[in-house]
Structure 1
Amino acid sequence: MNVDIKCPLCLTKNETVSHLFFECQFASNIWNKMLRWQGISRHAFRWQEELEWMVRNCKGKFASSHINRIAITGCIYHVWKERNPRLFQGKSTSVECIVRTVIQEIFYLGSLKSKIKLENL
C-alpha cells in the first residue's frame, strides 16, 4: 500500500506537524490573517517558535490572552478539519471561509463567557 506523505493542503512538501499547521502556505495564510485580525504584527513561525510564543502570550485572564487561546486552538482545529476532507473526499474550503469561521467562534465563545459571568452574579 502506497501512502502519500505530501501535505494535502499544498501538495508540495512532506506532511509534518510543523509543516501542516504552520509552514504550509495554506495554513500560514490562515495564521497571518488571524494575526492581522488580532492586531499582532508578525508572521507565523515554525512549530517550536509558535509554541514558545503561545506560552508567553496566552497566560492569564486578560481578554487578549483568552482571544489568543481561542484563535490558536481554532486555527489548529480547522486546519486539521480541512485536511481530512481534502485527503479523503477531494473537498476544500477557502482560507477566507476558515478565518471567518474561527472569528465567529471567538465571538460566540466570548459571548458565552460573558453570559456565564452574568448568571453567576
Structure 2
Amino acid sequence: MAIPRHAFMLWLVFKNSLITKERMCYWGYGGDPLCRFCCGIQECIEHLYFQCSFSRRLWRNIMLSCSITDPYVEWTEVVECSVAKLKGRSLQTTLCKLCFASSVYHLWRQRNDLCHGNTPRTEECIEAQIKCEVRARILFK
C-alpha cells in the first residue's frame, strides 16, 4: 500500500498545485476544459473535489463511514476543518486523515483514467478501495 503517494496528492491539493483543465486552459493548452465526471462545469480543484455530483456522492459515503454526518462541501471549509480539528493521534483523527488522503488520491486517479481513455471504476469500486486501504493502514501500522 502506498500512502506516501496519497500524502503527496494531498499536499498538491492543499497547495492548489494540481494541473487541472482550468490551469491548462489558462496556460494556453487546448482541449476540453469540462469535468470528466459530470461534463458540465470547467474542471478546477473546487469543482473536481467538492462541487461535482460524482465527488460529492463519494465524499458523503466515505465521511459517513468516519461518523461525520455533515461532510464539508467547500474547499475553504475542508482546509479550516483540517487545520482546526484534525490534530492529534486519536483513532478518529487518524481515520479521518487516512480517508481524506485516500479519497483525494482515488478521485484524481479516476479523473486521470477518464482523461487518458483507461477503463473507469465504479463509485462502489473506488469506495471499496479507499476503505480497504484505510483498514489495512490502521491494522498493519
Deviation at 1:2, TM superposition (A): 3.0
Alignment partner, residue 76 of structure 1: 104
Whether 1:85 aligns to 2:113 is: yes
Select 2:135's aligned residue among 84, 97, 107. 107
User: For 2:38 and 2:54, how far apart are their aligned partners in 1?
Assistant: 6
Query: Compared with structure 1, are the counterparts of its residues 90 and 107 closer, same or farther at alpha carbon in structure 2 (3 Å cutoff)?
Result: closer
Deviation at 1:93, TM superposition (A): 1.1
Unpaired runs of 5+ residues, structure 2, are 1-28
User: For 1:103 and 1:58, how far apart are their aligned partners in 2?
Assistant: 19
Alignment partner, residue 50 of structure 2: 22
Matched to 2:58, the amino acid is I
Deviation at 1:80, TM superposition (A): 0.2
Whether 1:47 aligns to 2:75 is: yes
Task: For CA contacts below 8 A with separation 6 or more, give which structure has more relative contact order.
Answer: 2
User: For 2:75 and 2:119, how far apart are their aligned partners in 1?
Assistant: 26
- The structure number with the bigger radius of gyration is 1
Greater mean alpha carbon deviation, residues 87-96 or residues 33-42: 87-96
Alignment deviations for residues 15-38 of structure 1 (CA, whole Å, 9 cap, x no partner): 010110111111111100011111
Matched to 1:81, the amino acid is R
Alignment partner, residue 116 of structure 1: none
Greater mean alpha carbon deviation, residues 42-51 or residues 15-24: 42-51
User: For 1:95 and 1:58, how far apart are their aligned partners in 2?
Assistant: 26
Which 4+ runs in 1 deviate beyond 6 A? none
Any conservation in 2 of the 1:57–1:68 contact (CA below 8 Å)?
A: no
Deviation at 1:90, TM superposition (A): 5.0
Alignment partner, residue 118 of structure 1: none
Matched to 1:42, the amino acid is D
Q: CA RMSD in A?
A: 1.3
